[in-house]
Protein backbone atom coordinates (compact mmCIF):
# COMPACT_ATOMS: atom_id res chain seq x y z
CA UNK A 1 0.00 0.00 0.00
CA UNK A 2 1.35 3.39 -1.02
CA UNK A 3 1.72 5.97 1.76
CA UNK A 4 2.32 9.67 1.05
CA UNK A 5 2.78 12.60 3.42
CA UNK A 6 0.75 15.81 3.35
CA UNK A 7 3.95 17.69 2.55
CA UNK A 8 4.59 15.52 -0.52
CA UNK A 9 1.02 16.07 -1.74
CA UNK A 10 1.32 19.83 -1.28
CA UNK A 11 4.52 19.83 -3.32
CA UNK A 12 2.87 17.71 -6.00
CA UNK A 13 -0.05 20.09 -6.50
CA UNK A 14 1.76 23.33 -5.72
CA UNK A 15 -0.58 24.09 -2.82
CA UNK A 16 -0.18 25.98 0.44
CA UNK A 17 -0.01 23.64 3.42
CA UNK A 18 -1.77 24.51 6.68
CA UNK A 19 -1.35 22.12 9.61
CA UNK A 20 0.72 19.01 10.24
CA UNK A 21 2.83 18.28 7.15
CA UNK A 22 3.83 14.83 8.44
CA UNK A 23 0.34 13.31 8.29
CA UNK A 24 0.29 10.24 6.04
CA UNK A 25 -2.46 9.17 3.65
CA UNK A 26 -2.90 5.92 1.74
CA UNK A 27 -5.79 6.74 -0.59
CA UNK A 28 -8.47 9.17 -1.75
CA UNK A 29 -12.20 9.44 -1.11
CA UNK A 30 -15.14 11.83 -0.84
CA UNK A 31 -15.66 13.89 2.31
CA UNK A 32 -18.61 11.70 3.25
CA UNK A 33 -16.85 8.35 2.86
CA UNK A 34 -13.24 9.19 3.72
CA UNK A 35 -11.39 7.40 6.51
CA UNK A 36 -8.70 9.14 8.58
CA UNK A 37 -5.93 7.80 6.33
CA UNK A 38 -7.52 9.12 3.12
CA UNK A 39 -7.23 12.55 1.50
CA UNK A 40 -10.36 14.37 0.30
CA UNK A 41 -11.26 17.75 -1.17
CA UNK A 42 -13.63 20.73 -1.00
CA UNK A 43 -13.84 22.69 -4.24
CA UNK A 44 -16.59 25.10 -3.26
CA UNK A 45 -17.28 27.07 -0.10
CA UNK A 46 -20.92 25.92 -0.05
CA UNK A 47 -19.70 22.47 1.04
CA UNK A 48 -17.78 23.91 3.99
CA UNK A 49 -20.19 22.37 6.51
CA UNK A 50 -19.08 18.88 5.45
CA UNK A 51 -15.64 19.62 6.87
CA UNK A 52 -17.15 19.42 10.35
CA UNK A 53 -18.22 15.79 9.90
CA UNK A 54 -15.66 14.26 7.58
CA UNK A 55 -13.12 11.82 8.96
CA UNK A 56 -10.48 12.85 6.42
CA UNK A 57 -7.45 14.32 8.16
CA UNK A 58 -5.89 15.82 5.02
CA UNK A 59 -8.15 17.91 2.76
CA UNK A 60 -7.51 19.90 -0.40
CA UNK A 61 -9.50 23.13 -0.15
CA UNK A 62 -10.24 26.12 -2.37
CA UNK A 63 -8.71 29.51 -1.62
CA UNK A 64 -12.00 30.73 -0.11
CA UNK A 65 -11.44 28.27 2.77
CA UNK A 66 -7.93 29.40 3.65
CA UNK A 67 -8.64 29.37 7.38
CA UNK A 68 -7.21 27.55 10.35
CA UNK A 69 -8.03 23.83 9.81
CA UNK A 70 -10.83 22.36 11.91
CA UNK A 71 -10.19 19.70 14.55
CA UNK A 72 -6.48 19.41 13.88
CA UNK A 73 -6.85 18.61 10.19
CA UNK A 74 -4.29 19.51 7.57
CA UNK A 75 -5.44 21.71 4.68
CA UNK A 76 -3.75 22.03 1.30
CA UNK A 77 -5.00 25.27 -0.28
CA UNK A 78 -5.19 25.04 -4.09
CA UNK A 79 -5.95 27.50 -6.85
CA UNK A 80 -7.82 24.79 -8.79
CA UNK A 81 -8.98 22.03 -6.46
CA UNK A 82 -10.38 19.80 -9.22
CA UNK A 83 -7.12 19.83 -11.15
CA UNK A 84 -5.06 19.33 -8.01
CA UNK A 85 -7.17 16.43 -6.77
CA UNK A 86 -6.88 14.76 -10.18
CA UNK A 87 -3.11 14.72 -9.68
CA UNK A 88 -3.56 13.24 -6.21
CA UNK A 89 -5.86 10.52 -7.53
CA UNK A 90 -3.19 9.43 -9.98
CA UNK A 91 -0.74 8.91 -7.11
CA UNK A 92 -2.96 6.19 -5.67
CA UNK A 93 -4.54 4.85 -8.87
CA UNK A 94 -3.82 1.22 -9.76
CA UNK A 95 -1.55 0.76 -12.78
CA UNK A 96 -3.29 1.02 -16.13
CA UNK A 97 -3.72 -2.16 -18.20
CA UNK A 98 -0.99 -2.84 -20.72
CA UNK A 99 -1.61 -3.81 -24.32
CA UNK A 100 1.26 -5.69 -25.94
CA UNK A 101 1.84 -5.07 -29.61
CA UNK A 102 0.55 -7.70 -31.97
CA UNK A 103 -2.61 -9.11 -33.52
CA UNK A 104 -4.78 -11.53 -31.56
CA UNK A 105 -5.34 -14.85 -33.39
CA UNK A 106 -9.10 -14.28 -33.50
CA UNK A 107 -8.82 -10.81 -35.08
CA UNK A 108 -9.42 -10.35 -38.80
CA UNK A 109 -6.98 -8.00 -40.51
CA UNK A 110 -7.18 -7.40 -44.26
CA UNK A 111 -4.00 -8.04 -46.22
CA UNK A 112 -4.38 -4.57 -47.76
CA UNK A 113 -4.58 -2.80 -44.39
CA UNK A 114 -1.56 -0.77 -43.29
CA UNK A 115 -0.65 -1.39 -39.65
CA UNK A 116 1.93 0.82 -37.91
CA UNK A 117 4.53 -0.25 -35.40
CA UNK A 118 3.72 -1.33 -31.84
CA UNK A 119 -0.01 -1.64 -32.58
CA UNK A 120 -2.30 -3.83 -30.46
CA UNK A 121 -5.30 -5.43 -32.19
CA UNK A 122 -7.51 -7.26 -29.71
CA UNK A 123 -9.67 -10.38 -29.91
CA UNK A 124 -12.35 -10.47 -32.63
CA UNK A 125 -11.46 -7.00 -33.93
CA UNK A 126 -11.86 -6.43 -37.68
CA UNK A 127 -9.61 -4.21 -39.77
CA UNK A 128 -11.13 -3.87 -43.25
CA UNK A 129 -9.51 -3.39 -46.66
CA UNK A 130 -7.07 -0.49 -47.04
CA UNK A 131 -7.61 0.75 -43.50
CA UNK A 132 -4.62 2.50 -41.91
CA UNK A 133 -3.70 2.20 -38.22
CA UNK A 134 -1.01 4.53 -36.83
CA UNK A 135 1.89 3.67 -34.54
CA UNK A 136 1.27 2.76 -30.87
CA UNK A 137 -2.50 2.59 -31.31
CA UNK A 138 -4.72 0.13 -29.43
CA UNK A 139 -7.72 -1.42 -31.17
CA UNK A 140 -9.90 -3.05 -28.51
CA UNK A 141 -11.68 -6.38 -28.67
CA UNK A 142 -14.61 -6.57 -31.05
CA UNK A 143 -13.99 -3.19 -32.67
CA UNK A 144 -14.51 -2.62 -36.39
CA UNK A 145 -12.35 -0.30 -38.50
CA UNK A 146 -13.98 0.10 -41.91
CA UNK A 147 -12.71 0.20 -45.48
CA UNK A 148 -10.20 2.98 -46.21
CA UNK A 149 -10.57 4.42 -42.70
CA UNK A 150 -7.57 6.02 -41.03
CA UNK A 151 -6.70 5.92 -37.34
CA UNK A 152 -3.78 8.07 -36.20
CA UNK A 153 -0.91 7.35 -33.84
CA UNK A 154 -1.21 6.81 -30.07
CA UNK A 155 -4.99 6.34 -30.18
CA UNK A 156 -7.01 4.19 -27.81
CA UNK A 157 -10.01 2.57 -29.49
CA UNK A 158 -11.96 0.76 -26.77
CA UNK A 159 -13.76 -2.55 -27.24
CA UNK A 160 -16.84 -2.61 -29.48
CA UNK A 161 -16.19 0.67 -31.27
CA UNK A 162 -17.30 1.04 -34.89
CA UNK A 163 -15.50 3.32 -37.34
CA UNK A 164 -17.22 3.07 -40.72
CA UNK A 165 -15.69 3.31 -44.19
CA UNK A 166 -13.44 6.24 -45.19
CA UNK A 167 -13.69 8.02 -41.84
CA UNK A 168 -10.55 9.65 -40.41
CA UNK A 169 -9.40 9.91 -36.82
CA UNK A 170 -6.36 11.96 -35.80
CA UNK A 171 -3.62 11.31 -33.27
CA UNK A 172 -4.07 10.63 -29.53
CA UNK A 173 -7.84 10.13 -29.83
CA UNK A 174 -9.73 8.14 -27.18
CA UNK A 175 -12.97 6.43 -28.15
CA UNK A 176 -14.88 4.72 -25.34
CA UNK A 177 -16.96 1.53 -25.71
CA UNK A 178 -19.90 1.60 -28.07
CA UNK A 179 -18.90 4.72 -30.02
CA UNK A 180 -20.13 4.69 -33.63
CA UNK A 181 -18.35 6.95 -36.10
CA UNK A 182 -19.70 7.25 -39.63
CA UNK A 183 -23.16 5.73 -39.50
CA UNK A 184 -25.47 7.21 -42.15
CA UNK A 185 -26.97 10.60 -41.45
CA UNK A 186 -30.74 10.80 -41.03
CA UNK A 187 -31.52 11.79 -44.61
CA UNK A 188 -34.97 11.00 -46.00
CA UNK A 189 -37.55 12.67 -48.24
CA UNK A 190 -41.25 11.78 -48.05
CA UNK A 191 -42.65 10.92 -51.49
CA UNK A 192 -45.89 9.65 -53.05
CA UNK A 193 -44.65 6.08 -52.76
CA UNK A 194 -43.18 6.31 -49.32
CA UNK A 195 -40.03 7.68 -47.71
CA UNK A 196 -37.00 7.94 -49.98
CA UNK A 197 -33.50 7.56 -48.53
CA UNK A 198 -30.97 10.25 -49.45
CA UNK A 199 -27.47 8.80 -49.99
CA UNK A 200 -24.94 9.84 -47.36
CA UNK A 201 -21.70 10.00 -49.32
CA UNK A 202 -19.44 12.07 -47.05
CA UNK A 203 -17.19 11.13 -44.13
CA UNK A 204 -16.47 11.93 -40.49
CA UNK A 205 -13.18 13.67 -39.73
CA UNK A 206 -12.00 13.70 -36.12
CA UNK A 207 -8.87 15.75 -35.43
CA UNK A 208 -6.14 15.28 -32.82
CA UNK A 209 -6.65 14.94 -29.04
CA UNK A 210 -10.39 14.27 -29.18
CA UNK A 211 -12.10 12.08 -26.56
CA UNK A 212 -15.53 10.56 -27.21
CA UNK A 213 -17.68 8.98 -24.48
CA UNK A 214 -19.45 5.64 -24.51
CA UNK A 215 -22.34 5.06 -26.93
CA UNK A 216 -21.96 8.42 -28.64
CA UNK A 217 -22.84 8.51 -32.34
CA UNK A 218 -21.36 10.76 -35.01
CA UNK A 219 -23.05 10.53 -38.42
CA UNK A 220 -21.23 10.72 -41.71
CA UNK A 221 -21.94 13.75 -43.88
CA UNK A 222 -24.46 13.77 -46.69
CA UNK A 223 -21.53 15.17 -48.70
CA UNK A 224 -18.21 16.64 -47.56
CA UNK A 225 -17.54 15.90 -43.89
CA UNK A 226 -18.87 15.95 -40.36
CA UNK A 227 -15.96 17.58 -38.57
CA UNK A 228 -14.86 17.30 -34.93
CA UNK A 229 -11.93 19.65 -34.47
CA UNK A 230 -8.85 19.42 -32.25
CA UNK A 231 -9.24 19.01 -28.49
CA UNK A 232 -13.00 18.47 -28.40
CA UNK A 233 -14.27 16.38 -25.45
CA UNK A 234 -17.59 14.56 -25.83
CA UNK A 235 -19.48 12.80 -23.05
CA UNK A 236 -21.55 9.60 -23.20
CA UNK A 237 -24.68 9.21 -25.36
CA UNK A 238 -24.23 12.36 -27.40
CA UNK A 239 -25.79 12.56 -30.88
CA UNK A 240 -23.99 14.49 -33.64
CA UNK A 241 -25.80 14.59 -36.97
CA UNK A 242 -24.51 14.82 -40.54
CA UNK A 243 -22.38 17.77 -41.66
CA UNK A 244 -22.09 19.20 -38.15
CA UNK A 245 -18.88 21.14 -37.38
CA UNK A 246 -17.64 21.37 -33.78
CA UNK A 247 -14.94 23.91 -33.02
CA UNK A 248 -11.71 23.35 -31.14
CA UNK A 249 -11.79 22.54 -27.41
CA UNK A 250 -15.58 22.44 -27.18
CA UNK A 251 -17.33 20.38 -24.48
CA UNK A 252 -20.47 18.34 -25.17
CA UNK A 253 -22.05 16.86 -22.04
CA UNK A 254 -24.16 13.70 -21.79
CA UNK A 255 -27.26 13.29 -23.97
CA UNK A 256 -26.82 16.57 -25.78
CA UNK A 257 -27.70 16.51 -29.45
CA UNK A 258 -26.85 18.54 -32.54
CA UNK A 259 -29.00 18.50 -35.67
CA UNK A 260 -27.63 18.42 -39.20
CA UNK A 261 -25.36 21.14 -40.58
CA UNK A 262 -25.17 23.11 -37.33
CA UNK A 263 -21.80 24.73 -36.71
CA UNK A 264 -20.28 25.29 -33.25
CA UNK A 265 -17.39 27.67 -32.74
CA UNK A 266 -14.34 27.22 -30.58
CA UNK A 267 -14.82 26.51 -26.86
CA UNK A 268 -18.58 25.99 -26.97
CA UNK A 269 -20.18 24.18 -24.00
CA UNK A 270 -23.39 22.18 -24.35
CA UNK A 271 -24.65 21.04 -20.95
CA UNK A 272 -26.51 17.77 -20.37
CA UNK A 273 -29.61 17.06 -22.51
CA UNK A 274 -29.33 20.34 -24.41
CA UNK A 275 -30.15 20.44 -28.10
CA UNK A 276 -29.07 22.52 -31.09
CA UNK A 277 -31.26 23.04 -34.13
CA UNK A 278 -29.96 22.27 -37.61
CA UNK A 279 -28.38 24.83 -39.96
CA UNK A 280 -27.59 27.38 -37.24
CA UNK A 281 -24.30 28.72 -35.87
CA UNK A 282 -23.12 29.07 -32.28
CA UNK A 283 -20.23 31.52 -31.94
CA UNK A 284 -17.01 30.97 -30.02
CA UNK A 285 -17.47 30.41 -26.28
CA UNK A 286 -21.24 30.01 -26.32
CA UNK A 287 -22.63 28.22 -23.25
CA UNK A 288 -25.94 26.35 -23.39
CA UNK A 289 -27.56 25.33 -20.08
CA UNK A 290 -28.79 21.81 -19.40
CA UNK A 291 -32.05 20.72 -21.14
CA UNK A 292 -32.10 23.95 -23.17
CA UNK A 293 -33.07 23.94 -26.83
CA UNK A 294 -31.28 26.37 -29.16
CA UNK A 295 -33.41 27.23 -32.20
CA UNK A 296 -31.54 30.20 -33.65
CA UNK A 297 -27.94 31.26 -34.14
CA UNK A 298 -26.11 32.77 -31.17
CA UNK A 299 -23.21 35.27 -31.18
CA UNK A 300 -19.84 34.59 -29.59
CA UNK A 301 -19.92 34.52 -25.79
CA UNK A 302 -23.68 34.15 -25.47
CA UNK A 303 -25.22 32.18 -22.59
CA UNK A 304 -28.51 30.49 -23.42
CA UNK A 305 -31.13 28.95 -21.10
CA UNK A 306 -34.54 27.36 -21.52
CA UNK A 307 -36.57 26.08 -24.46
CA UNK A 308 -36.54 27.86 -26.80
CA UNK A 309 -33.19 29.05 -25.50
CA UNK A 310 -32.87 32.72 -24.56
CA UNK A 311 -30.36 34.99 -22.87
CA UNK A 312 -29.86 35.04 -19.10
CA UNK A 313 -31.59 38.44 -18.83
CA UNK A 314 -34.60 37.26 -20.85
CA UNK A 315 -34.83 34.00 -18.94
CA UNK A 316 -34.68 35.63 -15.50
CA UNK A 317 -37.15 38.34 -16.51
CA UNK A 318 -39.68 35.77 -17.69
CA UNK A 319 -39.06 33.45 -14.74
CA UNK A 320 -39.53 36.19 -12.14
CA UNK A 321 -42.46 37.89 -13.88
CA UNK A 322 -45.25 35.84 -12.18
CA UNK A 323 -43.88 36.68 -8.73
CA UNK A 324 -43.61 40.34 -9.65
CA UNK A 325 -47.19 40.34 -10.92
CA UNK A 326 -48.34 38.68 -7.70
CA UNK A 327 -46.63 41.36 -5.61
CA UNK A 328 -48.12 44.12 -7.76
CA UNK A 329 -51.58 42.58 -7.41
CA UNK A 330 -51.27 42.58 -3.63
CA UNK A 331 -50.05 46.18 -3.71
CA UNK A 332 -53.03 47.22 -5.85
CA UNK A 333 -55.41 45.50 -3.42
CA UNK A 334 -53.84 47.37 -0.52
CA UNK A 335 -54.15 50.71 -2.35
CA UNK A 336 -57.75 50.02 -3.29
CA UNK A 337 -58.51 49.20 0.33
CA UNK A 338 -56.94 52.49 1.48
CA UNK A 339 -58.89 54.42 -1.17
CA UNK A 340 -62.14 52.93 0.12
CA UNK A 341 -61.23 53.95 3.66
CA UNK A 342 -60.50 57.51 2.49
CA UNK A 343 -63.81 57.72 0.62
CA UNK A 344 -65.61 56.43 3.71
How do residues 39-87 score in pLDDT, each as one tens digit? 999 988 888 888 888 999 999 999 888 777 777 899 999 999 999 999 9
* CA–CA gap between residue 125 and residue 299 (Å, rounded): 44
pLDDT tens figures, 127-139: 999 999 999 999 9
Cis amide prior to 44 (ω within 30 degrees) = no
Question: Is 132 in contact with 151 (CB distance < 8 Å)?
Answer: yes
The pTM assigned to this predicted structure is: 0.85
* CA–CA gap between residue 125 and residue 127 (Å, rounded): 7
Q: Does domain 4-92 have CATH number 3.40.1390.10?
A: yes
- Domain 102-311, CATH homologous superfamily name and number: Hexapeptide repeat proteins (2.160.10.10)
Q: How confident is the model at residue 319 (pLDDT cuts 50, 70, 90)?
A: low
- Percent share of the chain, pLDDT over 90: 80
* CA–CA gap between residue 216 and residue 270 (Å, rounded): 14
Domain range list for the chain: 4-92, 102-311
Report the number of secondary-structure helices (H) and strands (E) in the chain. 3, 40
Task: List, by residue number, the catalytic residues.
Answer: 242
User: 16-18 and 74-78 as β-strands: parallel, antiparallel, unpaired?
Assistant: antiparallel
pLDDT at residue number 333: 81
Amino acid sequence: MKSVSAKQLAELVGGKLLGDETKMVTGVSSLKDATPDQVSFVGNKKYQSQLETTKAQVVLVCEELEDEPLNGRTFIVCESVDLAFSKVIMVFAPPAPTYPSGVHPSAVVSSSAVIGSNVHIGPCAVIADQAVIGDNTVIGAGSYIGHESKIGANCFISPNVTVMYRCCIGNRAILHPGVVVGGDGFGFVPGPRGIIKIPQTGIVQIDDDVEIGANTTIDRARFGKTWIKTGVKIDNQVMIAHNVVIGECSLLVAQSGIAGSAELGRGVILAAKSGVNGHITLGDGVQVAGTSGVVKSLPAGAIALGTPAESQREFMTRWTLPKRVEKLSKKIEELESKLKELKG
